[in-house]
Structure 1
């Protein structure tokens, strides 16, 4: 068992990582139940894991109620949020209760936001079942839903009480979803850990092929990296936490163009966005060409898109930039971009011209 603390003062919590953890989760969660039922919110894709978790909780003397949410990004909506909060209220959830989010990033974001606003805040537990959620969205307390104007524009910071990660659940994850999550693993190397990026180049194929040791190492390393950054800048006020958005400004524009659908998964958009961020950095003399080539080559080797064409995006550059204008990080009409001086040398640039970004996107193959 690996335990990674997320140090946030009164909001601190642990991320527990262990193969087979789902089957013993009841022993860890029972003290949080206060003798009351613990609702589990999940989607239909995690049915086998749901039964394991329910069995573990019941064996520990904790009763459960299950709420099934439709799978997919479309569930991060006002309509689904209303349905979920109504159901939780009907179950009599109290402020001291804890709701379990069992699933990928969509379920975690939705349940996190619902519990942030339900009775002005109740507790929740993250039990992520995708690689992307395990290494990124389940840790750090960012919750929310999408709006017509863009992704994650409505939400709140709301930290979980605990995060339980069982790497074995990845054995049932479709390869495409696994690859999408792997993009967020590689991102930690690109941000400030060139040694870890080199590890990904060497061990990424084994991780994707099912190597348990590689998966557990990558998950633990990624969670430690995110916990450290979140601990330094919980509410993204100093700029340190913004580094986690590498690839996201470009990537969210691509997701918006794809209609936030399965046409382009979030991790796929992040991979393409990272490649574009490195390409933009090279075009402005900020980053060695060799580093951008390594990044693009690794995405291709991992079966991930490394640009507009590979992501299946053929929109005019002007429309992609229009998507960016809705970025929630915009301040004073300016959008901060994550650029790079090299692999492991990401930095925040608040002076990037969107006109210049549009010119750069206009010459990309699509």
Structure 2
């Protein structure tokens, strides 16, 4: 006699908690995202954790198997992990995990996921927009038009326009690769410098690999996408900036300290190049900083990353990662300890 089939035992839903700034949680995790999280996790209606030292936080940590983190999450150090004996995974709703994932997390074997892939897209979109606008000198023309209140005849010089221009990508990072991909439809030549990418890999990306000096000397626009590491601090040096073509453009959406900022001011003041800076050093420049006086520098307030409705993309990726992990499938966007030294 054949035994009757038995019902499959449901996998227990993991206990989850939110750890980020309360205002971040409100901005990133709307009602739909929270409902989707609660569909795959046991997410209590506890306060969002932004201080792990309180008694309430310790009670939540004691039960948490999964932390959904965001901007403003305190470091998950050894003392915090001691209070979270069941914690096995972290899903980060933003890009870099450097601010809160510590060595203690890797030693515990905690799995980590990041929404860096989702945050890379708006940064890449900003970059491509600035490459094309600077090639047309659109921002300078708009400024001059507003000042003159009339349209002046301009010589039709070959220096203006985007046909056949050469763009240099500094680092095939997650964002750098997205920029390369988004540039494919345009009539541009793209060069790449990345010491961890060989010629075969560069060819697969559809770009030509060049040395660091060549990247700056041969391109009309250099776009910086390298993470800030001890080896890359000040990487864009005075020598490299001086080697750029007259009227070339430096775009930086990575970290301000990757560029020698004093040297950049010097070269801008000499009217050698133009710059588009979404990041500076410090990130919020003092009111009297000389960069503000450089009319050939466009400075934006670190807005290239996810803003407004783009935050929903971060939430969607994070919810998807939580669902995969809860189902025992593993992360689609894991952060590996051995790759952390190369990530932003």
- TM-score bracket, shorter-length normalisation: 0.3 to 0.5
The higher radius of gyration belongs to 2
Task: Tell me the TM-score normalised to structure 2 length.
Answer: 0.35
Task: Tell me the TM-score normalised to structure 1 length.
Answer: 0.33
The higher relative CO (CA closer than 8 Å, separation ≥ 6) is in 2
